[in-house]
Every structure is written in structure tokens, then in C-alpha cells.
Amino acid sequence: MRWQGGRRSSNVEDRRGSGFGRPLAVGGGIGSIVVALVVMLLGGDPSVITSGSGQDPSGGYGTGGSGVPDDPRQAELKDFVSVILADTEDTWPGLLEPQGVSYVDPRLVLFTGAVQSACGQQESAVGPFYCPPDQRVYLDLDFFDELDRRFGAPGDFAQAYVVAHEVGHHVQNLMGISEQVQAARRRVSPEQANALSVLQELQADCFAGIWAHHAQRERQVLEEGDVEEGLGAASAIGDDTLQRRTRGHVVPESFTHGSSEQRVAWFKEGLSQGTLEACDTFSDASSPSRRRR
């Protein structure tokens, strides 16, 4: 990506090195490990999936860094996510204004190991997440190494997709979609609730594609191979792909984020169309696969 000359966001909050970034233990055997990996799929509101009730023996989290210097790799990643966040800030206001929605910039919180949010205390195992009550995206930069080594999805555009997906959840929150989905999930069976969660996640993938569409059109940020990196990341973190790796088989009714095929299709839809109307995942007739028949 051509990102080095981009504007840096002022909405990055660095809580790394606060002294409380010790990862919490994942107990409960293989079932809990599977859950932790599934939750790592770039989730939305983690309070839907995790209780957030784990307690760190240290008693809490600080609100700022301790001044521990970054290593060069971490420093570059912090700079990178600041540029991507700023680019989303430049993209979404103009898209939401015709919908009667005023865009409020989210804050991006960098942490290490574990963090306290308005959605509860969360550890790095949940992956990057967005918390609607405090309108913050939470990210442990070490996740990008996991994306490369564990999921086989390297590259800066794959990392940008991660940030853009979480900002997509922020857009859903501002539009009232998140609240509607959560209200609907409380009225239905667990399987139906999972299906609604999948539709919400796929829409966030599509919204990430919308950002990439407009970032390229307005600022020409993409280089050769970037789109493939984004598609690779979307595919690598599909529910079916992760379940095959952790369980050896796929249980579709337990999906919470969508299959690899679905995630790729909806990201591509947003990337190619660049409109909110193209991302109505909740309408069966709007499915990309149906439209191409």
C-alpha cells in the first residue's frame, strides 16, 4: 500500500506498556480454546461472545503507556494503523451524510495482552474488537503477526482490512444497525442468533470493501497484490476454515462470522460497488452469489 505519506489520525490511544498487559489464562480445556479461536475472527461487540468477567490479579488497567520505547516493527505498525484510521475518517462522513447520519470518529486503542473496555475486561485472544458503548476499536498489534504466521495472510493491506472491518462495526453502530441486531438476537434461538451475527459480520466485511473502494478512487493507495492480500485475510479467518483447523470438521450452525467464501464475496462486493446499498447482507435477495446468477 502507498500509506507512508498519509495523514496520521489523532484518535489513537496507546495503552501498551501500562504494566497490566498480562494475558489472562484460557481455561476449560479444548472447548475454551476453540471458542477463543473463533472469537478471534475480527469480532464485533465481544460482550456478545465473551462474558468479559475475567479478573486480572493486578486489579485493573492503566489509561496510558509507561513510556517504554517501541521496537522498530511496533513503531511502524502504530504509524500504519494511524494512517489507515485517518483514511477511514476521511472516507465515511461523506458516505453517511446522505443517510442523515453524522460520522463521529472512533478512537483506536492499542494494548498488549489484555485491556479494560466498556464491554468488559478483554484479552488479546479475542482478537481486534469494537466496543459500541465507548465507540472504540481495540487492537493488540501482535495480532498482525498472528495473521501472518498462523493464518497465512501477510501484507499491509491485509492489516488495513482488519482495521477497516472494525471501523465497519462503528459505522453499523452509528447507523443503529448494531442495536437492532442485538435486540433481534435476544428474541430468537441460539442458532438464529448466530445467523444474525454472521450477517452483521459480513456487512462489516462489505463496509471494509467500501472503504478500500473510495480510498483507491480518491487517494490511489493500492498497489499490485494488495487486493489479493485483503481477500486472503478474509478467507483465512472464515468460520469454516478455522473450524477445520481446530475441530477437524465444520459446524455451520455455530458460525458467528461467516464462511471464507461469504467473507470474500462480501468484501469484494463493497470493493467493487462502493455503496452502502450494496452491503445489505440482511436481505437474502442482495447476496452477491444470487445477483450473479
The residues, any chain, with a CB within 8 Å of residue 10's CB and separated by 6 or more, are none
Dihedrals φ, ψ of 188, to 5°? -125, 175
Question: Residue 97: what pLDDT?
Answer: 96
Task: Look at residue 84 and tell me if it is in a domain.
Answer: yes
Looking at the domain assignment, is residue 240 inside a domain?
A: yes
Task: Output the furthest CA–CA distance in the chain (Å, rounded).
Answer: 57
> Would residue 7 count as lying in a domain?
no
pTM of the model: 0.79
- Please indicate, yes or no, if residue 5 is contained in any of the structural domains: no
Domain span at 276: 12-291
Domain assignment of residue 272, yes or no: yes
> Would the pLDDT of 130 be above 60?
yes
Q: State yes or no: pLDDT of 23 exceeds 60.
A: no
User: HSE (CB half, 13 Å, CA atoms) of 181?
Assistant: 26
**What mean pLDDT comes out for the span 84-106?**
96
- How, if at all, do strands 120-123 and 129-131 pair? unpaired
Tell me if 1 is assigned to some domain. Answer: no
Count Cα neighbours of 187 within 13 Å in the Cβ-side half-sphere.
5
Give a yes or no: residue 6 inside a domain. no
User: What does the pLDDT look like over 162-203, one tens digit per residue?
Assistant: 999 999 999 999 999 999 999 999 999 999 999 999 999 999
Please state the rounded mean pLDDT for residues 115-142: 93
Q: Does residue 3 belong to any structural domain of this protein?
A: no
Please tell me the total count of domains within the chain.
1
